[in-house]
Amino acid sequence: MKAPPAYFDIVFDIPGDLRFSYHIDPRGEAAVGKRAVVPFGRRESTGYITASRESPPEGIKEIKDIRRVVDKEAIFDERDIALAQWVAGYYLCGFGQALSAMIPSGRREASYSAFAGEEEIPPAPLEMSAEQRKAMEAITAENPAASTFYLFGITGSGKTEVFLRAAEYFMKQGGGVIYLVPEISLTHQTAEAIGQRFGSAAATFHSRMSPAARFTEWMRIRRGEVRIVVGPRSAVFAPIRDLSLIIIDEEHDGSYKSENTPRYHARQVAMRRSRTEGARLVMGSATPSAEAWEIMQAEPYNQVPLKEGGTGASPSILRLDLTRRLSGGSPPEIYPVSLEHSEGCLSDELKNEIRKTARMGRQSILFLNRRGFAYFYHCRHCGFELSCKHCSVSLTWHKKLGRAICHYCGYSEIPPQACPNCGSLEAGFTGFGTELIEEEVSRTFPDLRIRRADSDTTSRKGSLEETLDLFRTGAFDILLGTQMVAKGLNFPGVRLVGVILADTGLQLPDFRAAERTFSLLVQVSGRAGRYFPDGKVIVQTFRPKDPAILRACALDVDGFFKAELAQRKLLGFPPYSRLIRFTARSRDEERAEKAIGLAARTALQSLPRGAEVLGPVECPISLRSGYYRKQFLLRGPAMGALHALARRVMEVYTKQKDSRVYMEVDVDPVNLL
Ligand SMILES: [Zn+2]
Ligand SMILES: [Zn+2]
């Protein structure tokens, strides 16, 4: 019989690929996959046991004892540990950091540009359409034509029902299922509906759960008591047994990419897991990401036989179209309306439609992705602009609070009466936010009842649900808000959707700006008139000729991507290249500049063929929460060479690193601000 291992490798929640060896604890409880408290430097620290050894690693003189083992049963198995190692390697973070991200910590997952879930889950299974049946057959086929599928379909075409039936099918075969949804759409109702359908075999993760509750669910999954896990991006790590199916609903959603270390993308991790664990992957959206769209175009599944496994093979996705709305009804009429010659923020067209809708006894939704009253303080005399003391962004005027607030760091001040620079009185706020629209709509339609839903009015728990419930019952006529109101778009009483300003995201210095704007508009529009044939959408814009806006109004996904992908190819941006972003941030601007310069020079010295360094430059948001931010991008045709280069840059940088500078590495960055 082999002697039990006496030594263990432990990793900590810190950057770098550092493992430390310890001797077994006095009680002999240590085992791979458990957490342990150990002496680390001059203090004690909790780490993860990732491997065992019979003898200590060579060349190490003194090995300390593990003080105490935290867990009775292992929280990670070999498979989890291997996945964490892959995450650390791909996203260039610490092994321990990757493990840390896997256990549900209760750390809030920020969702930005997220759009509410596609549809409510039907309480009882309905008869499926021919297209739905075809999709089901393809996904569940014994010898499938692909292992990755994409349900590409308009809102209301029944993607959710296909997801649920596929889940049921694989669970009946004894398999486990992971069902990912954008954070924002994981409402109480979704969780409940899934619970009803799958009973105690289901576990749900959401950001409002306490860390303890999340941990309990994690262990239930680990023990095999759970067969299906529903949750936002971190649920992709769920230790579900015999994983057979991963579902990614609203695949285009920005909240699938983590904005904290490790900066992983749930889609990338899902692809990895489906490959290594032999599970099928089904994604879905009415507006796929450019990356997914490009893969679907590049390799038509019905012409090219699929290569099994093989890491070198290009991925293929079998596209399954859902073109028909189950409830009947056609897509709504969508009009772009120019705001160029309009006074105020409501065009005559929009005002007329609001009035007409109210006369019909129906409801309107007004959408603006910008909260507050006005967002831009400008002096007409000297050009002075009021921006945050800690961030290089302008302050937003919140009239009810009587303060100008920074939406990035929360700094606020009472805005000046006269220009602080020249004393001119011709200075003040312009540009409209939801608070101003509320005032203007109330003034224009004193007889109509309006309610605003944005993070200023719905911060109290349950207040958004309350507002939406009231809207559903017809308690008021107009719902106004930021992306939150999208949840209200499924309501049968709604006839009109007014997009107050479509261009809010278009000017951002990011090559994905058009894609995001397009996707948002199609998502909003697709929801209007879902239950009625006479739905109307009015899209107000200062750029009525912008192709992204025009194609969104035509619901022309194909046309949009044709033009957008041609442009990306020309400029060499993803999906036609890969990117790794380096950001240096420091309270001292010079130090940030020096650090990023050093990293960029190192990269230039060993640049692989076809790769380049873009920058270094200031980040578009050059100051944030008091930190100066500088960046450069590594760009190249393949990730392998970029990874190697990025590791080399970090190695060199770490040797001469300035402790007052934070260097962040982001592989496949989604946010470039
Ligand atoms: Zn001035
Ligand atoms: Zn700020």
Provide the CATH topology of domain 578-667: Alpha-Beta Plaits (3.30.70)
Give residue 173 CA to ligand 2 midpoint distance, Å: 53
Give residue 429 CA to ligand 1 midpoint distance, Å: 13
Give residue 614 CA to ligand 1 midpoint distance, Å: 36
Query: What value does the mean pLDDT take over residues 591-619?
Result: 95
Residue 570's contacts (CB-CB under 8 Å, 6 or more residues apart) are none
Give residue 389 CA to ligand 2 midpoint distance, Å: 6
Give residue 617 CA to ligand 1 midpoint distance, Å: 29
Give residue 387 CA to ligand 1 midpoint distance, Å: 14
Nearest ligand, CA of residue 378?
1
Nearest ligand, CA of residue 381?
1
Give residue 512 CA to ligand 2 midpoint distance, Å: 24
Give residue 623 CA to ligand 2 midpoint distance, Å: 8
Phi and psi angles of residue 419, each rounded to the nearest 5 degrees, phi first: -60, 125
Give the span between the Cα atoms of 35 and 44, in whole angstroms.
Answer: 13
Cα radius of gyration rounded to whole Å, the chain: 27
CA 658 to chain centre: 31
Q: Closest Cα to residue 491, out of 335, 364, 329, 331?
A: 364
Give residue 376 CA to ligand 2 midpoint distance, Å: 14
Give the span between the Cα atoms of 223 and 239, in whole angstroms.
Answer: 9
Give the position of tokens 């109330």: 442
- Looking at residue 450, the DSSP 8-state letter turns out to be E
Quickly state the pLDDT bin for 105 (edges 50, 70, 90): low
Phi and psi angles of residue 247, each rounded to the nearest 5 degrees, phi first: -110, 135
Q: What's the number of CA atoms in the CB half-sphere (13 Å) around residue 188?
A: 9
Give residue 439 CA to ligand 1 midpoint distance, Å: 28
Provide the CATH topology of domain 333-371+433-568: Rossmann fold (3.40.50)
Give residue 199 CA to ligand 2 midpoint distance, Å: 45
Q: In what order do the strands lie in the sheet with 578-586?
A: 612-624, 627-636, 578-586, 662-667
Give pLDDT, residue 307.
Answer: 40
Give pLDDT, residue 3.
Answer: 64
Give me the torsion for CA of 191, 317, 637, 671, rounded to 10°: -20
Give residue 626 CA to ligand 2 midpoint distance, Å: 8
Share of the chain above pLDDT 70, in %: 90
| Helix ranges, 240-336 (H) | 266-277, 290-298
Q: What end-to-end distance do the CA atoms of the chain give, in Å?
A: 59
Give the position of tokens 């105690």: 200
> Three-state SS for 23?
strand
Give residue 587 CA to ligand 2 midpoint distance, Å: 14
Quickly state the pLDDT bin for 123 (edges 50, 70, 90): low
Give residue 377 CA to ligand 1 midpoint distance, Å: 10
Give pLDDT, residue 125.
Answer: 57
Give residue 375 CA to ligand 1 midpoint distance, Å: 17
Give residue 416 CA to ligand 1 midpoint distance, Å: 11
Give residue 433 CA to ligand 1 midpoint distance, Å: 23
Residue ranges, comma separated, of all CATH 3.30.70.600 domains in the chain are: 578-667
Give the span between the Cα atoms of 75 and 70, in whole angstroms.
Answer: 10
Quickly state the pLDDT bin for 523 (edges 50, 70, 90): confident
Give pLDDT, residue 313.
Answer: 42
Nearest ligand, CA of residue 396?
2
Q: Report the run of H or E that residue 366 belongs to, with start and end.
A: strand 363-367
Give residue 621 CA to ligand 2 midpoint distance, Å: 10
- Looking at residue 359, the DSSP 8-state letter turns out to be H
Give the span between the Cα atoms of 516 and 184, in whole angstroms.
Answer: 17
Nearest ligand, CA of residue 424?
1
Give residue 423 CA to ligand 1 midpoint distance, Å: 6
Q: Closest Cα to residue 499, out of 477, 511, 483, 488?
A: 483
Give residue 384 CA to ligand 2 midpoint distance, Å: 18
Mean pLDDT for the chain overall: 87
Give residue 333 CA to ligand 1 midpoint distance, Å: 45
pLDDT at 673 > cutoff 50: yes
Give residue 377 CA to ligand 2 midpoint distance, Å: 15
> Three-state SS for 630?
strand
Q: What's the number of CA atoms in the CB half-sphere (13 Å) around residue 461?
A: 4
Nearest ligand, CA of residue 406?
2
Give the span between the Cα atoms of 86 and 672, in whole angstroms.
Answer: 24
pLDDT tens for residues 550-579? 999 998 999 999 999 999 999 999 999 999
Q: Closest Cα to residue 7, out of 38, 44, 46?
A: 38
Give residue 373 CA to ligand 1 midpoint distance, Å: 21
Quickly state the pLDDT bin for 206 (edges 50, 70, 90): confident
pLDDT at 342 > cutoff 60: yes
pLDDT at 21 > cutoff 80: yes
Give the span between the Cα atoms of 665 and 579, in whole angstroms.
Answer: 11
Residue at 124: amino acid letter: A
pLDDT at 461 > cutoff 60: yes
Count the Cβ atoms, other than its own, within 10 Å of residue 603.
Answer: 26
| 404: β partners | 397, 413
Give the position of tokens 């669970």: 171
Q: What's the number of CA atoms in the CB half-sphere (13 Å) around residue 99?
A: 29
Nearest ligand, CA of residue 621?
2
Give pLDDT, residue 487.
Answer: 55
Class of the CATH-defined domain 7-102: alpha beta
Query: What value does the mean pLDDT take over residues 63-87?
Result: 95
Give residue 388 CA to ligand 2 midpoint distance, Å: 5
Phi and psi angles of residue 128, each rounded to the nearest 5 degrees, phi first: -90, 155
Give residue 431 CA to ligand 1 midpoint distance, Å: 18
Give residue 427 CA to ligand 1 midpoint distance, Å: 7
Of 361-375, 480-494, 512-526, 602-616, the least confident: 480-494
> Three-state SS for 109?
coil
Nearest ligand, CA of residue 423?
1
Quickly state the pLDDT bin for 467 (edges 50, 70, 90): confident
Query: What value does the mean pLDDT take over residues 455-475?
Result: 82
Nearest ligand, CA of residue 422?
1
* Higher per-residue confidence, 305 vs 466: 466
pLDDT at 54 > cutoff 80: yes
Give residue 376 CA to ligand 1 midpoint distance, Å: 14
Residue ranges, comma separated, of all CATH 3.40.1440.60 domains in the chain are: 7-102
Would you say 663 and 598 are in contact if contact means Cβ atoms under 8 Å apart? no
Would you say 286 and 518 are in contact if contact means Cβ atoms under 8 Å apart? no
Give pLDDT, residue 576.
Answer: 94
pLDDT tens for residues 355-384? 999 999 999 999 998 888 888 888 989 989
Would you say 232 and 109 are in contact if contact means Cβ atoms under 8 Å apart? yes
Residue 259's contacts (CB-CB under 8 Å, 6 or more residues apart) are 110, 671
**C-alpha to C-alpha distances, 116 to 89, 124, 181, 285, nearest whole angstrom:** 32, 22, 9, 12
Residue ranges, comma separated, of all CATH 3.40.50.300 domains in the chain are: 130-322, 333-371+433-568
Give residue 378 CA to ligand 1 midpoint distance, Å: 8
Give residue 662 CA to ligand 2 midpoint distance, Å: 19
CATH entry, 130-322, from 3.30.390.50, 3.40.50.2020, 3.40.50.300, 3.40.50.1820: 3.40.50.300
Give pLDDT, residue 489.
Answer: 57
Would you say 70 and 39 are in contact if contact means Cβ atoms under 8 Å apart? no
Give residue 370 CA to ligand 2 midpoint distance, Å: 16
Give residue 392 CA to ligand 2 midpoint distance, Å: 7
Give residue 426 CA to ligand 1 midpoint distance, Å: 8
Would you say 485 and 437 are in contact if contact means Cβ atoms under 8 Å apart? no
Nearest ligand, CA of residue 623?
2
Give pLDDT, residue 214.
Answer: 87
Nearest ligand, CA of residue 419?
1
pLDDT tens for residues 275-315? 999 999 999 999 999 999 998 886 554 433 334 433 334 46
Phi and psi angles of residue 463, each rounded to the nearest 5 degrees, phi first: -75, -30
Query: What value does the mean pLDDT take over residues 315-338?
Result: 81
Nearest ligand, CA of residue 410?
2
Give the span between the Cα atoms of 153 and 520, in whole angstroms.
Answer: 15
Give the position of tokens 């009239």: 399
Q: Report the run of H or E that residue 567 belongs to, with start and end.
A: helix 557-571
Give the span between the Cα atoms of 433 and 398, in whole angstroms.
Answer: 9
Give the span between the Cα atoms of 66 and 47, in whole angstroms.
Answer: 10
**Inter-helix orientation angle 130-140/159-172, to 10°:** 40
- Looking at residue 411, the DSSP 8-state letter turns out to be -
Phi and psi angles of residue 38, each rounded to the nearest 5 degrees, phi first: -140, 155
Give residue 400 CA to ligand 1 midpoint distance, Å: 25
Instruction: Quote the Cα angle for 103-105-107, to 5°.
Output: 135
Q: What is the 3-state secondary structure (H, E, C) of 209-268?
A: CCHHHHHHHHHHHHCCCCCEEEECHHHHHCCCCCEEEEEEECCCCHHHECCCCCCCEHHH
Q: Is 220 exposed, middle or buried (0-12, 13-18, 19+ CB in 10 A)?
A: middle
Give residue 391 CA to ligand 2 midpoint distance, Å: 4
Give residue 631 CA to ligand 2 midpoint distance, Å: 19
pLDDT at 150 > cutoff 90: yes
pLDDT tens for residues 636-650? 999 999 999 999 999
